[in-house]
Amino acid sequence: AQSVAQPEDQVNVAEGNPLTVKCTYSVSGNPYLFWYVQYPNRGLQFLLKYITGDNLVKGSYGFEAEFNKSQTSFHLKKPSALVSDSALYFCAVRVYNAGNNRKLIWGLGTSLAVNP
Amino acid sequence: ETGVTQTPRHLVMGMTNKKSLKCEQHLGHNAMYWYKQSAKKPLELMFVYSLEERVENNSVPSRFSPECPNSSHLFLHLHTLQPEDSALYLCASSRETGGVDEQYFGPGTRLTVT
């Protein structure tokens, strides 16, 4: 079955330290992968995506993600966390459904807390 | 932030009421989406419109009825809802529906069914 998993419900990190939010996936064919962030009382905001090319993708607000085909992972990273990065992070992967339509399926989200 | 707007931001309705959610995108996109976001559940795709034509309906109960009068506007008409329909309803848009383009989300409507 096609799926995406975010194994951690919550990640805590001290301000200034590097952060990683994990995502693994299972899809048929080449994966198209996305990261979104949701701040309280707001909609989701696009951070970055992997379609093809370099395995290291750079996105908004200093975030980057590394596509690892052998480990079927697409972990989100940032070298130095800010308190303002505290939010809910979602990983998503494009899949084909039974009608051969393309759509995104979403992870459950990981709550990131950056402590001052 | 103002690329996709949604009204109202909060809505409380009884199970016998009829109400509508409105979404408007100012990005010139061709595709629009309705999602339901509930706690502890993955984001649920409800409907997809491409160039004003509904291209996907993910087994959504008929008490939810979408309408897309043009490529900039999307409505979700609600009637005889159930308490389990209480959730955050998100509208999104993208250039196309192929799954390559990122989606831009509105702030959502927090719906409470009493």
CA dihedral of A82, A105, B2, A51, whole degrees rounded to 10:
80
Q: What is the DSSP letter of B23?
A: E
Interatomic CA distance for residues A34 and A99, integer angstroms: 22
Size of the A and B interface in Cβ pairs below 8 Å: 52
Q: What is the band of A31 on the pLDDT scale with cuts at 50, 70, 90?
A: confident
Record: contact B43-A34, CB cut-off 8 A: no
A106 touches chain B (CB under 8 A): yes
Assess whether pLDDT exceeds 70 at residue A11: yes
Assess whether pLDDT exceeds 90 at residue B40: no
Q: Give the model's pLDDT for residue B24.
A: 97
Whether B89 contacts B36, CB under 8 Å: yes
Query: Chain A residue closest to B6 (CA)?
Result: A43
A2 touches chain B (CB under 8 A): no
**pLDDT higher for A96 or B63?**
B63
- Cα of B80 to nearest chain A Cα, Å: 26
B66 touches chain A (CB under 8 A): no
> Following DSSP, what letter does each residue of B32-97 receive, concatenated?
EEEEEE-TTS--EEEEEEETTEEEEE-S--TTEEEEEEETTEEEEEEES--GGG-EEEEEEEES-S
Give pLDDT tens digits for B3-33: 999 999 999 998 888 999 999 999 999 999 9
Q: Give the model's pLDDT for residue A102.
A: 72
For A48-84, letters b (16+ CB in 10 Å) and e give: bbbeeeeeebebeeebbbbbeeeebbbbbebeebeee
Q: What is the band of B43 on the pLDDT scale with cuts at 50, 70, 90?
A: very high
Record: contact A102-B43, CB cut-off 8 A: no
Interatomic CA distance for residues B39 and A107, integer angstroms: 12
Record: contact A46-B103, CB cut-off 8 A: yes
Interatomic CA distance for residues A68 and B24, integer angstroms: 37
Percentage of residues in chain B having pLDDT higher than 70: 98
Q: Give the model's pLDDT for residue A95.
A: 76
Record: contact B42-A105, CB cut-off 8 A: yes
Give pLDDT tens digits for A57-95: 999 999 999 999 999 999 999 999 999 999 999 999 987
Average confidence score pLDDT of chain A:
92
